[in-house]
Amino acid sequence: MTILSSTPPDERVVELAHAISRLLGWTYFLCWGVSSYPQLLINYSRKSVTGLAFDFFTVNILGFGCYTISSILFLFSPVVRDEYARRHPRSPEPTVRWNDLAFAIHATLFSVITWSQFFFWGYKRDPTQRLSRTMLALIAMCIVTILVSIALALSGIADFEWIDVAYTLQFVKLFISIVKYVPQAWLNYKREATTGWSIHNILLDISGGVLSLAQLVLDSSLQNDWSGLTGNPLKLFLSQISIFFDIIFIIQHYVLYRSSSESSTYSHLSPEGEAEIGYGTLEPPPRIPRAGGDKRSRSSPLCRSFGEEEQRSFGRFRHGSEGEGAPNELGLRGREKKDYGVGDKRSDEEERGGLLGSSFSETFTRVGDTGATGE
């Protein structure tokens, strides 16, 4: 049995369908609303915002602000609602619901809070985390577009109405939704890691997208007119955009960069330190060639000069020690403080320095000998 048919459905079926629609709507609100919390908690626990794309959270404020205003217009503006009824005579009731407005207001609020963590919470932030010129130009273009639509509605040029202003706000939000996901996806690609952001956010986001789309389809079916889909382009395409990019993020996290997200190479670091390395504030330590490795690495002038300088430095230290009565080079290791005279007492720091110097000297000597025989 289909609800969309030429014969009127049973009233109980319609009531049940409306109840399911409300359930879908408020469930998607919970999914999309709760998806804002994991990132806030992660930032709070790490006391850091490294690993996050600043463009994403900046443009989010403008996008959800447009979503909020357009929802208010469709729900409360008699002018916009009358214009909608004229354009959709078969289904004069807009498919914008109260849960849409609740989600838009909630998302705007949390976008502002998350954005403020970059500046006012004292969290660690990489110097490269700033608004890009490209994103600044896109934001300016969106604002200019909105202002032009308002001017056209006021002047009445080309039959431009206030409902078109509401649609302009919706299309700006759609454009921002496409643009805002790209920096985070690109950042994950460049870092080859998803450390520093919450995958739970994405799982909730894709769930909300599916439920939102299901509610819109059900509402249009109840109106017996599929123009309800095109009459609410924001809800129609926003859910699809979210699902598309969420699939990309899920693939990045669980398939492409799974090893970096499960067990980081820098697992000995704190969570914020690990994220900073992934983001680029710290570079991974350079690979040190083994003694029996590349001949060119061992025989390079830089390597030889470094080894010779270290040997001379540690050699002077050992010779000086011998001049003071040290039995031999290795005697420094097993000698205890009670063996020194009153004038020969050394601090713990000097003792450790001597041990370290002797150990490094022997290591460089072995490497030099190995390099010489290898050549």
Q: What is the spatial distance between Cα 35 and Cα 110, in angstroms, rounded to a whole number?
A: 10
- Alpha-helical regions (H) of the chain: 11-34, 36-46, 54-76, 78-87, 98-116, 133-155, 162-191, 199-222, 227-230, 233-251, 258-262, 271-279, 295-299, 301-323, 331-334, 348-374
User: What whole-number distance in Å separates Cα of residue 279 and Cα of residue 124?
Assistant: 12
Tokens of 285: 């330590």
- The string of pLDDT tens digits covering residues 158-213 is 789 999 999 999 999 999 988 878 877 888 888 888 776 668 778 888 999 999 99
pLDDT tens-digit readout, 117-157: 888 767 877 777 778 888 899 999 999 999 999 999 998 88
Question: Please, what is the end-to-end C-alpha distance for the chain in angstroms?
Answer: 85
What predicted TM-score, i.e. pTM, was given to this entire model? Answer: 0.62
pLDDT given at position 222: 86
Q: How far apart are CA 280 and CA 191, in angstroms?
A: 8
pLDDT at 17 over 50: yes
